[in-house]
């Protein structure tokens, strides 16, 4: 019996998400094809110029925008940011620091602090003998 190794492929949207880029800003051949696991690994280890440019300048997808601004994706929505932003637009927002961004950053800091407190509490509980 012969075993056949099938190539694992993914939709362009999935590959773009894994690469951290906005799908609509990628080249047409990337958007229209399928991406194999090997191709994705090659893109990650030796990115072509278009991928390096997208990662550096954008437009960036919402998860990347949220991370660069230090807020949650929901916080972006509350701030009225629904479209992808370029690096230049993100830097301008950081410089201007609108009220919503200050508030969302403070909220995110509280969430992180609470998560760390819960993690410490659980670790202490796990270390305690029963």
Q: What's the maximum distance between 2 C-alpha atoms anywhere in the chain?
A: 66
What is the model's pLDDT at position 130? 66
pLDDT, tens digit, 9 for 90 and up, residues 23-52: 999 998 888 888 889 888 999 999 999 999
CA–CA distances in Å: residue 115 to residues 12, 17, 36, 63, 96: 34, 26, 36, 20, 29
Mean pLDDT confidence for 116-128 = 90
Average the pLDDT over 1-29 and give the result. 83
Give the global pTM: 0.76
**Alpha helix (H) residue ranges in the chain:** 12-19, 28-32, 37-45, 49-57, 62-69, 73-78, 87-96, 99-127
- The predicted-structure confidence for 86-113, as pLDDT tens digits, reads as follows 999 999 999 999 999 999 999 999 999 9
């Amino acid at each position: 019996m012969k075993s056949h190794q099938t190539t694992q492929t993914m939709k362009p949207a999935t590959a773009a998400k894994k690469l951290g880029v906005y799908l609509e800003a990628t080249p047409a051949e990337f958007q229209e094809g399928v991406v194999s696991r090997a191709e994705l690994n090659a893109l990650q280890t030796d990115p072509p110029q278009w991928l390096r440019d997208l990662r550096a300048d954008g437009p960036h997808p919402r998860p990347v925008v949220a991370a660069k601004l230090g807020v949650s994706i929901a916080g972006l929505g509350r701030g009225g940011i629904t479209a992808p932003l370029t690096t230049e637009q993100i830097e301008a927002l950081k410089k201007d620091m609108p009220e919503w961004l200050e508030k969302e950053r403070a909220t995110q800091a509280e969430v992180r602090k609470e998560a760390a407190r819960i993690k410490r509490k659980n670790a202490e509980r796990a270390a305690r003998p029963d």
